[in-house]
Structure 1
């Protein structure tokens, strides 16, 4: 993506002659080039899944995580630039800790989503900042039940396997977490046995679709 003229892509507050903001477009492009991230809200909890592309064979399995716990009852999945995602997760953890210390209870998922969204929006208002090159899904369980915000098991995994683009020429790992009644309303990685079961179900489903 190239700018129309010199300097139009140097600031998030600079518009090109045709009204484009290239810094925002660059951030969106970083998300497009990343693996797929999905969140599913069920009646008893939330499941998040990530197509984590493996950029190098030298990377250890399960490294460079894309799903993070924000606090005990919520987590965040990130697509796009991993470093930007970690900064947003760190901010979310800080907001959750501050709320807990002031009010003496876990932060509601809606309140956390609003605080994180305000922080992300802030970086699009000033010329000396740049927008975060990542997309986020926040899922959690609070007194209002399971909540999912976007800025299983067997449902999530076939979607990720199906949309994986072989043209990317990169292998990928399936990373999944949940916060539900089964996990005692705490955000955790999906147990390995269920993850392997989900992978097998996804492979079977794709084979059946290809056969049709």
Structure 2
């Protein structure tokens, strides 16, 4: 039988079937949905963790806080989502329920790794049942506790997760990864230095898409926020946007230099 026929619709429709190459094509399609999404990044410094997104302004009629891609799950846990926003908010609701159940049973905040395991298991279960589809979603979670310090995890559409010092999802992920490699002493960065670096990476990554307006948004949790996850804190957000705009301007001027 023709192999090209076998690997066609017969294997990319059911979620419970492997292709002859051992691939689950629906999971790969979900990963592509994430790769084509807006960019999100997470960076872990000395005493804080920053989540940042480039939110494309789809319509001037939207309210400023519409279509937010950074949410709080617990008082000290934030989540940024790349992919389908509706999937992200559905997963966020499940995560909040898990966090609330843990707090009710143990009278304390759920550790981030435990919450990641529960979210990852939920997302992985969607790849096992033919009645569902995989979540077209990757999420980055951040937290800070006095006992554990800053923590940063990323969960993929297949349900796997890892801890990071810096990570990215979305269409500018390759550029963000290159910028991460240039950073020195990332784990030793202070809060202000960290938010500036995050903004510069987001603005530079958006450079190729600058014909469309976007809004830089961030979430931060750390020692300086007293362990609370804050979304767009005014002072730090303005510092970050100024640093990002300057980095984007420098990127533009350098690209416009004549070649001799």
Corresponding position of 1:149: 153
- After superposition, where does 1:11-50 map in structure 2 within 5 Å? 11-50=14-53
Runs of 4+ in 1 over 6 A off after TM superposition: none
Partners of 2:40 and 2:209 in 1: how far apart?
A: 18
RMSD: 1.9
Partners of 2:212 and 2:135 in 1: how far apart?
A: 24
Does structure 1 residue 199 correspond to structure 2 residue 241?
yes
Corresponding position of 1:171: 213
Q: Are the structure 2 counterparts of residues 8 and 54 from structure 1 closer, same or farther at C-alpha, using a change threshold of 3 Å?
A: farther
- Once the two structures are overlaid, the 10-residue window that deviates more, 64-73 or 144-153, is 144-153
TM norm structure 2: 0.75
**Helix, strand or coil: the match of 1:75?**
strand
Partners of 1:179 and 1:18 in 2: how far apart?
A: 43
Question: How far is 1:168 from its partner?
Answer: 7.9
Q: Are the structure 2 counterparts of residues 25 and 56 from structure 1 closer, same or farther at C-alpha, using a change threshold of 3 Å?
A: farther
Partners of 2:242 and 2:200 in 1: how far apart?
A: 9
**Helix, strand or coil: the match of 2:9?**
coil
Listed as ranges, the gaps of 5+ residues in structure 1 are none
**Number of corresponding residues:** 210
TM norm structure 1: 0.91
Listed as ranges, the gaps of 5+ residues in structure 2 are 1-5, 156-193, 255-260
Partners of 1:169 and 1:33 in 2: how far apart?
A: 17
Partners of 1:180 and 1:159 in 2: how far apart?
A: 20
- Once the two structures are overlaid, the 10-residue window that deviates more, 13-22 or 69-78, is 13-22
Instruction: Name whichever structure is richer in helix by fraction.
Output: 2
Q: Are the structure 2 counterparts of residues 38 and 146 from structure 1 closer, same or farther at C-alpha, using a change threshold of 3 Å?
A: same
Does structure 1 residue 57 correspond to structure 2 residue 60?
yes
**Residues 124, 130 of structure 1: 8 Å contact kept:** yes
Question: How far is 1:136 from its partner?
Answer: 0.3
Partners of 1:55 and 1:206 in 2: how far apart?
A: 21
**Residues 51, 172 of structure 1: 8 Å contact kept:** yes
